DNA sequence: TCGACGATAGACAGACCTGTCTGTACCGTC
DNA sequence: GACGGTACAGACAGGTCTGTCTATCGTCGA
């Protein structure tokens, strides 16, 4: 077993017994509880109890519950973007890169505890014009830009239109998987994305460009 | 102006100055406030103030806030079903009947105050296993059955699969229209539905059956 | 050795929410 | 004219939520 535990001792006393700072534990608890039960439903007390952190520390670190919610949504955005980009980068063919987004989504559906898109849930009961709406807007803009890029590279005749359609399918699949508790919706969703891509290609010319891109 | 106002006098004193019963006014206020701001966010006091109804009356009529929420969702379900069925019945061709669902959805998007699907919003922060989840499940089951029927009548080779895809598009379009505040998403959504329908037909045989059904 | 600093525990204020209760007013019917 | 049913107004209890504040502890660096 271990010799000396050799504490890393990064910046003064930022870590406790389990090696995670109060900030990290708060963010982890927010991720867990906010996602599982809702941003409005879960109160500060539940968060700090779950994180083993004092209430004063939360307000020192995040300023308010709203600040914690912002950090929670930002971490969700980053994690999702990272996962999707990793799936896309695993392929070379533009067609496969586009469809990889939906395959990554399907894997997500199958994970235990999946309840749908965090931004959808948080936005549903959020006041209009607040930071939740803003964070959701940024996330959706990022997703649409990604789809537009992939659609253009896959040779769509109207990449913006195809991107909007793909986002509709992506959103609808996530919503259905969450509300119906049905991860298998990923398959018809992926098939729908493929059909829409094909329809978009047919319009442009005649052939079926795929491995066209040499580099 | 008017002679005698001639009160209809349906069952004793069910109506007040504006001719609507306390129940109707409560339901109308719930529809307005719950939809605009969220089921969790809006409190009983706001509802009764907006409806001009005493708190005791609300609890006499609905038993609890949960009872009012149930009535609100039921009225949403009925109104939506009625609107969609009316749009479908306006056409004879199976293909047009199917696409009419998406045209009705597009009209809904353009209405002022549209904020997305009420069931999605209510479910987002609702406890799992409660009446909200149940009401949402019933609504979604009804929609899927409708799509399955329409898909079968339109000649889809696999009506259940096409129905799931159409529901994904329908859900995704509603979500995007609500979150992005973009009613124009209805057009690519309708086009996507059409493309999916076409793709589903191609698989079955060769021809393009449409006005096939004689009666 | 000592002070600065981050963190902890927990009481507290103020606001809000649901649901109950009391008392009063109106209306049609007996 | 009395009565029952419905609605109204509003106080109230009990609970929860956010956010503030005080007091204490432990570690790091000077």
A contacts of B121 (beta carbons < 8 Å): 124-125
Residue B11 lies in a domain: no
Query: How many Cβ pairs closer than 8 A exist between chain A and B?
Result: 129
For the ranges A12-26, A157-171, B166-180, B188-202, the lowest mean pLDDT is seen at: A12-26
The better pLDDT of the pair B21, B172 is held by B172
- Give the nucleotide with minimal C1' distance to the Cα of A53: C8
B122 and B25 in a common domain: no
- Residue A99 in any domain: the answer is yes
> Helix, strand, or coil here: A125?
coil
Assess A33–B contact: CB distance below 8 Å, yes or no.
no
- Nearest nucleotide (C1') to alpha carbon of A41: D17
Same domain, A58 and A77: no
pLDDT of residue B129: 84
Percent of chain B with pLDDT over 90: 73
- Other Cβ atoms closer than 10 A to A9: 9
- Tell me: do A125 and A196 sit in the same domain: yes
Least confident range of A5-9, B43-47, B149-153: A5-9
Q: CA A67, C1' C14: Å apart?
A: 21
- Domain endpoint, select from B9, B37, B63: B63
The percentage of chain A sitting over the pLDDT mark of 70, rounded to a whole number, equals: 85
In a domain? residue A82: yes
Q: How far apart are CA B49 and CA A41, in angstroms?
A: 24
A149 with A58, same domain? no
Residue A122: closest CA among chain B residues belongs to which residue? B124
CA A20 to chain centre: 23
pLDDT, residue A11, reads 35
- Residue closest to A110 by CA, chosen among A191, A211, A183, A11: A183
Based on the domain organization, do A88 and A59 belong to the same domain? Answer: no
Mean pLDDT of the region B167-189? 98
In this prediction, residue B1 carries a pLDDT of: 37
At A21, the pLDDT band (50, 70, 90 cuts) reads confident
Same domain, B101 and B172: yes
Query: Which two tokens mark A23?
Result: 């900030």
Chain-chain contact of B171 with A171 (C-beta, under 8 angstroms): yes
Chain B contact for A202 (CB, 8 A cutoff): no
Confidence of residue B130 (pLDDT cuts 50, 70, 90): confident
- pLDDT averaged over chain A? 87
Residue among B37, B125, B164 whose CB faces A185 most closely: B164
Q: Is any atom of strand D within 7 angstroms of residue A61's beta carbon? A: no
In a domain, residue A122? The reply is yes
Total tally of structural domains belonging to chain B = 2
On whether both B105 and B159 belong to a single domain, the answer is yes
**Domain extent for B77:** 72-204
Please name which of A134, A85, A157 lies closest in space to residue B179, comparing C-alpha atoms.
A134
| Cβ proximity of B121 and B39 under 8 Å | yes
Q: Which of B23, B53, B16 is nearest to B5 (CA)?
A: B16
Q: What is the pLDDT of residue A206?
A: 43
Q: Which residue has the higher pLDDT, B9 or B153?
A: B153
- Protein residue at shortest CA distance from C1' of C29: B12
How confident is the model over B35-56, as a mean pLDDT? 91
What is the rounded average pLDDT of the residues A3-24?
51
pLDDT value of position A138: 96
User: Is B82 in CB contact (< 8 Å) with chain A?
Assistant: no
Question: Are residues B94 and B140 located together in one domain of the fold?
Answer: yes
Q: What is the mean pLDDT of chain B?
A: 87
Distance CA(A31)–CA(A213), nearest Å, equals 40
Q: How many Å does it take to go from CA A63 to C1' D25?
A: 23
A30 CA, D26 C1': separation in Å? 27
Is residue B31 domain-shared with residue B78, that is, in the same domain?
no
As ranges, strand C nucleotides with an atom below 7 A of a protein CB are 5-11, 16-23, 26-29
Which residues in chain A are closer than 8 Å to B122, comparing Cβ atoms?
124
Which residues have a Cβ under 8 Å from the Cβ of A135 and sit 6 or more positions away?
A: A70, A73, A74, A77, A119, A122
Residue among B136, B176, B196 whose CB faces A167 most closely: B176
Exposure letters B91-130 (e unless 16+ CB within 10 A, then b): eeebbebbbbbbbbbbebbeeeeebbbbbbbbbbbbeeee
| Beta carbons within 8 Å of B62's beta carbon, 6+ residues apart | B26, B68, B71
Confidence at B183, pLDDT banded by 50, 70, 90? very high
Q: Which has the higher per-residue pLDDT, B107 or B126?
A: B107
Report H helices in chain B. Answer: 22-37, 44-51, 55-62, 65-89, 94-110, 118-124, 131-153, 159-180, 186-204
Q: pLDDT category, B75, cuts 50, 70, 90? A: very high
In chain B, the residue whose alpha carbon lies closest to the alpha carbon of A163 is B188
Which position has the higher pLDDT, B22 or B35? B35
Domain end call among B40, B63, B86: B63
Q: Give the residue-averaged pLDDT of A72-77.
A: 96
- Please report the pLDDT score of residue B213 as a whole number: 43
pLDDT recorded at residue B21: 79
Check whether A64 has a pLDDT greater than 60.
Answer: yes
**Is B210 a domain residue?**
no
Query: Would you say B176 and A119 are in contact if contact means Cβ atoms under 8 Å apart?
Result: no
pLDDT of residue B10: 35
Asked whether the predicted pLDDT for residue A67 surpasses 50, the reply is yes
Quote the percentage of chain B above a pLDDT of 70: 85
Q: Chain A partners of B43 at a C-beta cutoff of 8 Å? A: none
pLDDT digits (tens, 9 = 90+) for A82-124: 999 999 999 999 999 999 999 999 999 999 999 999 999 999 8
Interatomic separation, CA of residue B196 and C1' of nucleotide D17, rounded (Å)? 48
Is A5 a residue whose pLDDT tops 90? no
CA distance B119 to B25: 21
Answer whether residue A131 is part of any domain. yes
Residue B127 carries which DSSP code? P
- Closest CA to the C1' of D28: that residue is A12
Are A81 and A158 within one domain?
yes
Residue B9 located in a structural domain: no
Query: Any idea which of A19-28, A157-166, B78-87 has the lowest mean pLDDT?
Result: A19-28
Question: Are A77 and A150 within one domain?
Answer: yes
Would you state the structure tokens that stand for residue A99, as one six-digit string? 């469809």
Contact A147, A165 (CB under 8 A): no
Which of A5, A40, A63 is a domain's end point?
A63
Residue B207 confidence (pLDDT) above 70 = no
Residues A33, A98: one domain? no
Read off the pLDDT band of B186 (50, 70, 90): very high
CB-side exposure of A152: number of CA atoms within 13 Å?
Answer: 6
Rounded alpha-carbon distances, angstroms, from residue A175 to A169, A179, B111: 10, 6, 23
pLDDT score of B110: 97
- A residues 133-152 closer than 8 Å to B (CB): 136-137, 140
Q: Could you tell me which chain A residue has the CA closest to the CA of B115?
A: A124
Chain A residues close to B35, C-beta within 8 Å: none
Max Cα distance, chain B (Å): 69
What pLDDT is recorded for position A128? 83
pLDDT at A129: 83
Statement: residue B138 has pLDDT above 90: yes
Q: What is the CATH number of the domain that holds A156?
A: 1.10.357.10
């Amino acid at each position: 077993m271990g010799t000396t535990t050799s504490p890393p001792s990064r910046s003064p006393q930022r870590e406790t017994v389990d090696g995670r700072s109060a900030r990290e534990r708060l963010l982890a608890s927010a991720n867990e509880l906010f996602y599982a039960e809702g941003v409005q439903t879960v109160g500060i007390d539940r968060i700090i109890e779950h994180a083993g952190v004092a209430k004063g520390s939360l307000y020192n670190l995040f300023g308010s519950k709203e600040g914690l919610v912002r950090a929670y949504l930002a971490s969700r955005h980053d994690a999702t973007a990272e996962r999707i980009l990793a799936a896309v980068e695993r392929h070379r063919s533009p067609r496969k890169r586009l469809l990889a987004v939906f395959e990554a989504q399907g894997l997500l559906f199958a994970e235990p505890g999946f309840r749908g898109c965090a931004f959808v849930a948080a936005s549903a009961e959020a006041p209009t014009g607040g930071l939740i709406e803003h964070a959701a807007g940024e996330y959706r803009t990022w997703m649409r830009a990604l789809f537009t890029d992939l659609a253009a590279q896959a040779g769509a005749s109207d990449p913006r239109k195809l991107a909007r359609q793909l986002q509709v399918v992506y959103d609808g699949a996530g919503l259905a998987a969450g509300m119906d508790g049905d991860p298998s919706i990923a398959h018809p969703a992926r098939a729908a994305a493929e059909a829409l891509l094909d329809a978009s290609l047919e319009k442009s010319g005649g052939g079926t460009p795929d491995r066209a891109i040499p580099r």
